[in-house]
Structure 1
């Protein structure tokens, strides 16, 4: 198996066997990894060793060893190293990696926000949810004033998607906290803005899906419906993409039900369910059924 295929396999299996994935990652960093694969491998190191196994010191060590090679390092690889160093309690090393980022296509201010967003993304399930929201709002406040496309856009958008998705899953009491509500709302909006500048049509319609989820969690169902239909329109223009269509239809149906439009809601859900029954991926179909079980009307 070549290194690209092995990274693909680890991306698919790491959550099921994190200890085995960690052992393989420690070996894989010594092999011939193309610069294009360094960001994915670096993300796996942070997610598996740091976030899952809570061993940020080893994650930092692997990042440093992997990137100690005479090649032009991608921005995302440098970001991963900066995050690992910060989480390992090595702030000077983190600042050095961040400085290197500012020399490869982004400003110093953009590099800082890329790293901040990456740190929050890996730490979002830790600590106080209000503190997490405040930290996210700091990134959002800085980023929403950027008016021109830069390589920072896609990196921050990816982190925002992960952070907002996790905040949406918080309990109802947490969702009532003002900072949490603001972070979900503005985090989803800025994520979409960044993907509209820097993303493919798939990333753009998935940003609309995030906005639909965010607004539904905040009980803003008219906005949730609007976002779901934006995403469906993008698929209509570029598709097919039946998996994403099914999940967008599910959220459109949820919003219709909450707005008292039961007949239209039932139509959306029926079409979404029909699409889901054509999938061969059992775990994906199970996730769809779990989402459908949260609908406010039985179908």
Structure 2
């Protein structure tokens, strides 16, 4: 299979896995021969662990599938070939209820496993476990992580996902709201290391939302202003600038500054008017909140 065909297979599987995870899991199990190079191991293992873990909770089946990848011709002895499998298996083991797996891991892999498991727990609505795992992941990474390492990326994704899920939890407790802000701050910290300006900007947006949910309006204003500054520094398209202006307006309103709210509301709506209809659909929440 060509690289293009493999990429198309994974793209389709990612697009469909949310609606029919068991069928996608079955397709993955039947498609192991598609993994023909070490470069294809990581994306295949990532999808397999996500589907079998977060969506299905079929920990042992996922581990068995990943373990079978070790017999593929793509296992050329390189780190790129074997490390993603080992990390994915360790994540499923830990998330499936075997904390002893952490004892055999170095700080980097321990951080990756804990952060990845936190994302799995979040997706499964197991917030106590998600909060605990993410907190442990951040502590495990305090010893220092290589820039752009998989562990840094896992911390960024795990923090973002946990913050977004807790923000949407109507009955969130004070402890969960505190954890939400900490997760959003973690997402921002690690996206600055692992991502691009776009991911940093969106992490600032996420932090602003979390701060608003926690009732910290003034801190939300500062975060939203940083979001807009990132957009300005990188000549961001109107779609991104709309969200920055909208969330700043909402933060200013929450802080009691009606005049500044009106100014940034108008700026946001002006940007919204520039967007094609397909993009406007993604902006409906903010448009409704702006009134």
Q: What TM-score do you get using the length of structure 2 for normalisation? A: 0.82
Q: Does 1:246 align with 2:217?
A: no
For residues 80-130 of structure 1, what are the alpha-carbon distances to aligned partners after superposition, in whole Å with 9 as ceiling and x for unaligned? Answer: 2321233345667x569x64xxxxxxxx12211210111111012446634
**1:119 correspondence with 2:117:** yes
Which of the numbers 182, 190, 197 marks the counterpart of 1:194? Answer: 190
Aligned to 1:17: 20
> Which residue, out of 248, 261, 264, partners 1:265?
261
Among candidates 78, 81, 95, match of residue 87 of structure 1: 95
The 3 A distance-change label for structure 1 pair 27 and 205 is same
Residue number in structure 2 paired with 1:105: none
Which residue pairs with 1:211 in the alignment? 207
Structure 2: gaps (5+ residues): none
Equivalent in the alignment of 1:181:
177
Aligned: 1:109 with 2:144: no
Q: For 1:43 and 1:274, locate their aligned partners in 2 and report how far apart those are by CA, in whole Å.
A: 40
How far apart, in 1, do the equivalents of 2:109 and 2:161 lie?
19
Between the aligned partners of 1:231 and 1:76, the Cα distance in structure 2 is 33
* Partner SS for 1:30: helix
Shift of 1:207: 1.9
Q: Distance in 1 between the 2:213 and 2:247 partners?
A: 11
Moved over 6 A (4+): none
TM-superposed CA distance for 1:215, in Å, is: 0.9
Secondary structure class of the residue paired with 2:53: helix
Q: Does 1:143 align with 2:141?
A: yes
Note the alpha carbon deviations across 1:38-75, whole angstroms, 9 max, x for none: 33322322232322233222222222223444232445
> Counterpart of 2:69?
66
CA RMSD between the two structures: 2.9
State which drifts further: 117-126 or 35-44. 35-44
Q: Which protein is richer in helix relative to its size?
A: 2
The alignment covers a number of residue pairs equal to 281
Mapped to 2, the partners of 1:128 and 1:95 lie a distance apart of 20
